[in-house]
Amino acid sequence: MDYEKLYRSFYMQVYSYVLSLTGDRDEAEEITQNTFVKAMSSPASYRKEASEVTWLCAIARNLYTDGIRARKRTVPLEETEPIPSDTDLLQSIVDTDAAFRIHVILHRLEEPYKEVFSLRVFGELSFAQIAAIFDKSEAWARVTYHRAGLKIRERMGGS
């Protein structure tokens, strides 16, 4: 694998992706650099099932997530989370209840809506990747995802 070409070809795409995650240029730069270091140190992890940029972005996302976990472990709880007000507590309960209701509705949703919605929202896959999994067109993936969202909203209103 030509690492210099890989770096030149995909640096800006990976950096832009990481910047969208972090919102911080310095942190995005650091994670992007570490992404390429990790890719170069473990080329066997690239199984050629996805494009190189998808592989690199997956590495970057994992590094970003690892960083968040590390910060949570090192910063005392009282510094990171203020005591919620009654209004905040009530809103989090409502949000938790709504999230649970969405999961129940999603669990009962028929295929392929259930899987397409899950792959898009929880798997964070692109419509092109979802289409490839189902051996369908990208337009089919978009329409199926949209219809799944409509079904979920409809059932949320009726629940």
* Domain final position from 77, 99, 133: 77
pTM across the whole model: 0.46
Q: Which of 5-14, 38-47, 73-82, 102-111 has the highest mean pLDDT?
A: 5-14
Domain that holds residue 16: 3-77
* CATH code of the domain in which 59 resides: 1.10.1740.10
Q: Are residues 57 and 108 in the same domain?
A: no
Q: Are residues 116 and 132 in the same domain?
A: yes
Backbone phi, psi, residue 82, to 5°: -70, 155
* pLDDT (0 to 100) of residue 32: 92
* pLDDT (0 to 100) of residue 158: 57
- Residues sharing a CB contact under 8 Å with residue 151, sequence separation 6 or more, in sequence order: 105, 109, 113
pLDDT tens for residues 75-127?
555 554 555 555 554 555 456 777 777 778 888 889 889 888 888 877 788 89
* CATH code of the domain in which 126 resides: 1.10.10.10
The rounded distance, in Å, linking the Cα atoms of 7 and 46 is 15
Q: Are residues 104 and 146 in the same domain?
A: yes
* Domain final position from 28, 58, 77: 77
Name which residue leads in pLDDT, 16 or 123.
16
* Domain final position from 43, 77, 111: 77
Q: Tell whether the model's pLDDT for residue 45 goes beyond 70.
A: no
Q: Are residues 14 and 68 in the same domain?
A: yes
> In which band, very low, low, confident or very high, does the pLDDT at 31 lie, cut at 50, 70 and 90?
very high
Whether omega before 112 lies within 30 degrees of 0, making that bond cis, reads: yes
Alpha helix segments (H runs only) across the chain: 3-22, 25-41, 52-74, 77-80, 86-108, 113-121, 127-134, 138-158
